[in-house]
Amino acid sequence: RKEVEQDPGPFNVPEGATVAFNCTYSNSASQSFFWYRQDCRKEPKLLMSVYSSGNEDGRFTAQLNRASQYISLLIRDSKLSDSATYLCVVNLYSGGGADGLTFGKGTHLIIQP
């Protein structure tokens, strides 16, 4: 079983629509959770951290369900500029040493005019 699983897509969504991505992770000891965005041939950029209480940043809402080991990202009123690959990221960090960030393969989003 992969450590972080995402639907690779592509998701083709009309401009202005709402789109949701999901991600599951296998290690229940995971400590930190993030969504990163990556444009073609560029570096990943931090979109937002994900907390159990849920958090919102403008049009973006992220949610964490530790019991189900499930992370979600909701994008409202999607813009053409939201077209990118969205990477679900988990940090195990056992405290005895670093395990680095574990990335999913990413979900490819295409916003259509």
Partner 1 sequence: ETGVTQSPTHLIKTRGQQVTLRCSSQSGHNTVSWYQQALGQGPQFIFQYYREEENGRGNFPPRFSGLQFPNYSSELNVNALELDDSALYLCASSRTGWTEAFFGQGTRLTVV
Q: 35: which residues sit within 8 A by CB, 6+ positions away? A: 47, 48, 50, 60, 62, 71, 73, 86, 87, 88, 89
Q: Residue for token digits 């973006």?
A: 60
Return the residue of 64, 106, 109, 111 that touches partner 1, per CB under 8 A: 106
Taking CB under 8 A as the rule, which mask of x and - marks residues 32-71 in contact with partner 1? x-x------xxxxxx--x----------------------
Site residues (vs partner 1, CB under 8 A): 4, 31-32, 34, 41-46, 49, 87, 91, 93, 97-106
